[in-house]
Amino acid sequence: MSRFVLVTADADFSRRAQEAARGLHGSLQVLPADYLPPSPDDILRVVNAEPAEVVLLGPGLPTEDAIRLASLFDLQFPEISVVLVTEGNQDVALPAMRAGIRDLLTPAANANDIRTMLERASLASASRRRGLGSTIPDSPIGGRIIAVMSPKGGVGKTTVTTNLAVALGKIAPMSVVVVDLDLQFGDVASGLLLEPEHTLADAVTGAAVQDSMVLKSYLTVHPAGLYALCAPLNPAQADQISGEQVGHLVRQLADEFQYVVVDTAPGLGEHVLATLDIATDAVWVCGMDVPSIRGLRTGFQILTELDLLPDNRHVVLNFADRKSGLSVQDVEATIGRPVDVVLPRSRAVPFSTNKGVPLLQEGSRDGAARGLGQLAERFKPNWEERPHKKLHRRAMV
């Protein structure tokens, strides 16, 4: 069975790709060519046995032709993951995303990198096939929707959001989108040093509501291998966006991306509740002060009554400091839940925020960076099946 198809005239890359596919279920079929046929059918008709799951285009193929063919695959065979093998160029990322290309791979990638990419693209293909085969109107959402939230502001919610998105971008490159749902005063753009051409206000109206390809064109590409949908530039536009529009938007993104990380506004407003209604995970952030902790406890109580607490919950204690007069045990006793991740007070965090470069993007070894890395670990595939999750290990400051 040929699950993987490679179109390239590069013999050295073909050798590495075949080596990478040896340990996988299914074989890789190489079509040696330095040009592309006009349609996907011309490629698929020469594939042996069952239809392909992953098609690699390049290296050595004209980039424009590869992107054009990928867009045809996305329309005619959306269940097939297309990977473009090309030199790293930021100018290629956005057109590739719009064409539905699942991943970008450098021609210099070794066999292990190619194998990892094939596994990731194959999983995406399997997910798409399940989605296309479902006839239930309210079928489960494809990607994980992670709502990062707090009843009170000033607790470092955006810092947690941007670092989590960067970390997930390393786990699933080109398959992560961060959404700034603090519609009036969102800081995701500044936290990631982005100057978005389009914002969330554009994405909830017009053709983007019906066409995911148009929606993708409104996303801003970040160098860390993720995408961002930033808050409106004018705070007044927040009043024109309804909770229903937000829910539809997040569902659209979850159908296209493996991870949707949502930075919510403080409190429990309409947009936050709309997100929680469909979220698969909630990351609760609180500071090590009494008002923040009490606010979190109240938020839990209200959402429990509304039945809006996602099954997967992760509590992050930020600004942890022994000199605060409180302990982790005090926090847990107040909110009635274990603290999963502790982020110690750190000078590196405000410095990275002012630079617009998240700690996990620059590879910091700061204590807060280690804690953020532990948070990202909780979202790796099959993490729930690990034995250590069955026992809560009390976090320490």
Q: Count the residues in the chain.
A: 397
102 shares a domain with 175: no
Question: DSSP state, 302?
Answer: H
CB hemisphere CA count around 78 (13 angstroms):
12
pLDDT interval class at 103 (50, 70, 90): confident
> Worst-scoring range by mean pLDDT, 55-64, 91-100, 299-308, 318-327?
91-100
User: Sorting pLDDT into bands at 50, 70 and 90, what band is 387?
Assistant: low
Q: Using alpha carbons, select from 69, 77, 7 the residue that is nearest to residue 38.
A: 69
**According to the model, what pLDDT value does residue 209 have?**
86
Supply the pLDDT for residue 136: 34
The answer to whether residue 269 scores a pLDDT higher than 60 is yes
Query: What's the mean pLDDT in 70-75?
Result: 87
Looking at the fold, whether 90 and 217 belong to one and the same domain comes out as no
Per mean pLDDT, which range of 116-120, 134-138, 274-278 is the poorest? 134-138
The 10s digit of each residue's pLDDT in 199-234 is 999 999 888 888 777 788 888 888 888 999 999 988
Domain presence at residue 396? no
- Residue 397 domain-assigned (yes or no): no
User: What are 39-48's pLDDT values in tens digits?
Assistant: 888 888 777 5
Task: For residues 30 and 127, state if they share a domain.
Answer: yes
395 within domain boundaries? no
For residue 282, the Cα-to-chain-centroid distance in whole angstroms is 14
> How far is the C-alpha of 96 from the C-alpha of 79, rounded, in Å?
17
Q: What pLDDT sits at residue 388? A: 53
Structural domains counted in the chain = 2
Which alpha helices (H) appear in the chain, and where do they start and end?
11-21, 40-44, 63-76, 90-98, 111-133, 157-171, 188-191, 200-203, 212-217, 243-256, 270-276, 290-306, 328-335, 348-355, 367-377
Q: Is residue 191 part of a domain?
A: yes
CATH code (residue 104): 3.40.50.2300
Residue 325 has a pLDDT of 86
Whether residue 153 sits in one domain with residue 113: no
Whether residues 88 and 189 fall in one domain: no
Do 106 and 54 share a structural domain?
yes
Considering the domain architecture, whether residues 61 and 163 belong to the same structural domain is answered as no
101-115, 211-225, 349-363: least confident range: 211-225
- State whether 116 and 150 are in the same domain: no
> In the listed set 133, 167, 188, which residue is the last one of a domain according to the structure?
133
The residue behind tokens 């659209």 is: 252
Domain boundary among 104, 133, 162: 133
Quote the tokens at residue 180.
Answer: 């700034």
Question: Residue 130 has what pLDDT?
Answer: 55
Residue 396 banded pLDDT, cuts 50, 70, 90 = very low
Do 83 and 70 meet the contact criterion of CB atoms below 8 Å apart? no
- Asked if 81 and 102 sit in the same domain, the reply is yes
Dihedral through CA 378, CA 381, CA 384, CA 386, nearest 10? Answer: -90
Q: At 183, which CATH number?
A: 3.40.50.300
DSSP state letter for 197: S
CB 69 within 8 A of CB 36: yes
Q: What confidence score (pLDDT) does residue 1 get?
A: 42
In this structure, which long-range contacts are made by residues 36-44, counting pairs with CB atoms below 8 Å and at least 24 apart in sequence?
36/7, 36/61, 36/62, 36/65, 36/66, 36/69, 37/69, 39/69, 39/72, 40/69, 40/72, 40/73, 40/76, 40/77, 40/80, 41/76, 43/5, 43/7, 44/5, 44/77
| Domain-located, residue 138 | no
- 81 and 34 in one domain? yes
Task: Check whether residue 110 and residue 152 sit in a common domain.
Answer: no
CB distance 373 to 167 below 8 Å = yes
> Domain span at residue 319?
144-390
Can you tell me the distance from the alpha carbon of 131 to that of 141, in angstroms, rounded to the nearest whole number?
A: 9
Structural domain ending residue among the three candidates 76, 100, 133: 133
Residue 149 placed within a domain: yes
- Indicate whether 132 pLDDT > 70: no
255, 303: one domain: yes
- Percent of the chain topping pLDDT 70: 90
Sign (positive or negative) of CA dihedral 122, 374, 221, 284: positive
Q: What's the DSSP call for residue 351?
A: H
Cα separation, 127 vs 121, in Å, equals 10
Q: Is 80 exceeded by the pLDDT of residue 153? A: yes
Given a cut of 60, whether residue 393 has pLDDT beyond it is no
pTM of the full predicted structure?
Answer: 0.67
Read off the DSSP letter of residue 355.
H
**Mean pLDDT in the chain?**
86
> Does the residue 320 lie in any domain?
yes
pLDDT: which is higher, 227 or 91 = 227
> Which pLDDT tens digit goes with each residue over 283-297?
999 999 999 999 999
Cα(13)–Cα(34) distance, integer angstroms: 13
Alpha-carbon gap, residue 206 to 238, rounded angstroms: 17
The whole-number pLDDT of residue 190 equals 93
* Residue 354 belongs to some domain of the structure: yes
Assigned token pair, 280: 């698969």
